[in-house]
Structure 1
Amino acid sequence: MKSAQKIKLGISIGDLNGIGGEIILKTFDDSRMLDFCTPVIFASVKTLSFLKKHFNLELNIHGVENVSQVIEGKINVVNVWKENVSINFGVEDNESGKYAFKSLESATRALKNNDIDVLVTAPINKNTIQSEDFNFPGHTNYLAKELEGDSLMFMITDTLKVGLLTDHVPLKDIAQEITPQLIEKKIAIIQKTLQQDFRISKPRIAVLGINPHSGDNGLIGQEDETVLKPTLQKLKDKGHLVFGPYAADSFFGTKNYQNFDAVVAAYHDQGLIPFKTLSFGEGVNYTAGLSKVRTSPDHGTAFEIAGQNTANINSFKEAVFKAIEIYKTRREYQKLTKNPLKKTTKKF
């Protein structure tokens, strides 16, 4: 009997001057990883060969011109570029940003065309990648546009999941960004994600307050009273298990998050500081709300250690495993919802 085809796992290489190449190659230096998926790295054989030599790795890579030539059981590299590229570890420059976008663009196109099943992105430098083609604050917004979805930054581990109402938004603009419509949309994305991607049929969701102490009944800002609380009450009235708002300063320290399937933070640092404190190096950044599965490690380019052969691969490896797991879970969910068990009635 023919075995099922392994998941094709696309990988964008990120900023070449950062730790992306190192964590990718070291992850697949363990040949057991090929039992779980067929890796497809979007970069070039020349670039990967340089990185292999620099980090003293013996793994074999298989260069291809397009994804149709990918071979199962090998570490495949799609040649997105042919020229030699200078890699200057730890240096922030526009040249490395240009190649980071070439890799991401090619990988995203393959994802849209179903040439790969999932995408794992290595870290980019959000400054150097900017161009006419990439005018976004990060991966999440770019993929939302390309895949035509309502994206949500969802930081996940097995025991903690934190979603954001706003992600890469300046602090001074947060209050204006958070509207009843945004709250309802983001919570709906989290609910659907927990159901279809994590097998949680009736998720319990905690929401953190916008202002310190959730506004202290209007003493510290009006947004919690006039926007957040009425919207949460509306959702509760509809039968959704949504709770809060909770004061963010004590919520994680008291381990209250353990009582919920997910936590919704109002803005980036309110959610990511406690998440990374509790799970740094083990967490995964998952882009919820899209028709495709994309994950990434929970850290950046780490220019300060790039090229030094000291990068921790745990978060990237976990991003690979989570992408595979979510893909399989969603596929099962879709099969069940398309072909639900039919109720039959019999007369006796």
Structure 2
Amino acid sequence: MEHKIKPRLGISLGDFNGIGPEVILKTLADNRLLNFCTPIIYGNIHLLNKVKKQLALENFHLQVISETAGADTKKVNVINCWEEDLELTPGKPNQESGQSALKSLQRAAEDLKNGKLDGIVTAPIDKDNIQSESFQFPGHTEFLTHYFEAPNSLMFLIGGDLRVATVTGHVPLKDVSARLTPDLLIQKLTILLESLKHDFHIQKPRIAVLGLNPHAGENGLLGNEEAEIILPAINQLKEKGNLIFGPFPADGFFGTASYKHFDAVLSMYHDQGLIPFKTLAFDNGVNYTAGLPIVRTSPDHGTAYNIAGQNVAQESSFREALLLAVDIIRKRHFNANPRN
């Protein structure tokens, strides 16, 4: 049964001058989570001990290991991704914190690719200071899609029964319309359908698709994308027996709580989906990258430099990200081994 699986989860540190280390340690200080997974933090023990001291968690023990094979299933493990004892300057990102975030992510991704981990949970990065010759991506989603050679992926936000995905992710708003095509929508809707079925065990998912323009184009008065791009994609998948509806005007759709009647919502661009999602589910929201051969989740917030180092960051979103990763890994294992 799927509840017997105790996955080995890698945790990338994110930008250590943000709230990543704080929410990670606050989450894992609850040792009940060790019943569900074996956590391995990819970071540095000296830096984590500094954060522990700031959080008054000195009695919370971290086990240093050199390889995942040495992970203690009853403890929180740490793999040192750099040896320097770097200065912690909460709220003040710098080149060191950006490149350390990259080292953490790369090592965790490498171990995941080599089958040494069952999934990863990523803490927030600074999308600016992590840039380098080996990282030229808008964010985690694009990096992991490239690294794991997936043909496409989907930014998928989960908050309880509220699930919102986006067709376009980290792209400028002025470029959204030009990127939308029926083929792209079909790709994203197909990923969403497959994820709902296999990662969430929803046998016949109902999906709502939002329009791009105000009032979903108002029959062409406010834009033609709905009629020329979105509706043809919906109809093509409906002809195959899928329960896909829309396009709906985004404001009225969320304003009337129509999302409650669907298993997921597909928005056209980042803020169209994420603003209502974070308004409704910020404290427990999770960012899941669907369409990858591996499982990756993250909290739905950023580095939050404005509150870093003040011991006020809420760990609830990171905790939900960890638990969702465990749940999806178990469901995938059950799908592959239904009789075990």
Alignment CA distance shift 1:159-1:4 (3 Å): closer
Instruction: Structure 1 unaligned segments of length 5 or more: list them.
Output: 340-348
Is 1:222 matched up with 2:224? yes
For the residue of structure 2 that corresponds to 1:245, the secondary structure is: strand
Is 1:38 matched up with 2:38? yes
2:144 & 2:68 partners in 1: Cα distance?
Answer: 20
Deviations 1:187-212 (A, max 9, x none): 00000000001011111110000111
Residue equivalent to 1:345: none
Residue equivalent to 2:170: 168
Task: Verify the 8 A CA contact 1:66 1:79 in the aligned structure 2.
Answer: no
1:180 & 1:4 partners in 2: Cα distance?
Answer: 42
1:181 & 1:258 partners in 2: Cα distance?
Answer: 27
Residue equivalent to 1:327: 329
Residue equivalent to 1:309: 311
For the residue of structure 1 that corresponds to 2:337, the secondary structure is: helix
Residue equivalent to 1:74: 75
CA displacement at 1:335 relative to structure 2: 2.5
1:214 & 1:130 partners in 2: Cα distance?
Answer: 37
1:212 & 1:238 partners in 2: Cα distance?
Answer: 29
2:33 & 2:56 partners in 1: Cα distance?
Answer: 19
Alignment CA distance shift 1:201-1:4 (3 Å): closer
Greater C-alpha radius of gyration: 1
Farther off after superposition, 45-54 or 138-147: 45-54
Residue equivalent to 1:140: 141
Residue equivalent to 1:130: 131
Task: Verify the 8 A CA contact 1:202 1:241 in the aligned structure 2.
Answer: yes
Deviations 1:75-110 (A, max 9, x none): 100011111111110012122100000000000001
For normalisation by structure 1, the TM-score amounts to 0.94
1:162 & 1:192 partners in 2: Cα distance?
Answer: 15
Task: Verify the 8 A CA contact 2:62 2:76 in the aligned structure 1.
Answer: yes
2:161 & 2:106 partners in 1: Cα distance?
Answer: 33
2:310 & 2:243 partners in 1: Cα distance?
Answer: 47
1:335 & 1:148 partners in 2: Cα distance?
Answer: 25
Is 1:65 matched up with 2:66? yes
1:125 & 1:232 partners in 2: Cα distance?
Answer: 36
Amino acid across the alignment from 2:12: S
Task: Verify the 8 A CA contact 1:194 1:203 in the aligned structure 2.
Answer: yes
Instruction: Structure 2 unaligned segments of length 5 or more: list them.
Output: none
Residue equivalent to 1:264: 266
1:83 & 1:212 partners in 2: Cα distance?
Answer: 52
Deviations 1:202-251 (A, max 9, x none): 11110000111111111111111111112211221221111000000110
Amino acid across the alignment from 2:232: P
Task: Specify which of 181, 184, 189 is matched with residue 183 of structure 2.
Answer: 181
Task: Verify the 8 A CA contact 2:168 2:270 in the aligned structure 1.
Answer: yes
1:157 & 1:279 partners in 2: Cα distance?
Answer: 6
What is the CA RMSD across the aligned residues, in angstroms?
A: 1.2
1:178 & 1:279 partners in 2: Cα distance?
Answer: 27
Alignment of 1:189-228 (within 5 A): 189-228=191-230
CA displacement at 1:5 relative to structure 2: 6.6
Task: Verify the 8 A CA contact 2:15 2:93 in the aligned structure 1.
Answer: no
The percentage of counterpart residues that share the same residue type is: 50
Is 1:92 matched up with 2:96? no
Residue equivalent to 1:346: none
2:260 & 2:283 partners in 1: Cα distance?
Answer: 20
For normalisation by structure 2, the TM-score amounts to 0.96
Residue equivalent to 2:16: 16
For the residue of structure 2 that corresponds to 1:252, the secondary structure is: helix
1:276 & 1:69 partners in 2: Cα distance?
Answer: 38
Amino acid across the alignment from 2:218: D
1:159 & 1:246 partners in 2: Cα distance?
Answer: 19
Residue equivalent to 1:342: none
For the residue of structure 2 that corresponds to 1:91, the secondary structure is: coil
CA displacement at 1:4 relative to structure 2: 5.9
2:239 & 2:119 partners in 1: Cα distance?
Answer: 37
Is 1:239 matched up with 2:249? no
1:303 & 1:246 partners in 2: Cα distance?
Answer: 36
Structure 1 runs (4+) greater than 2 angstroms displaced: 3-6
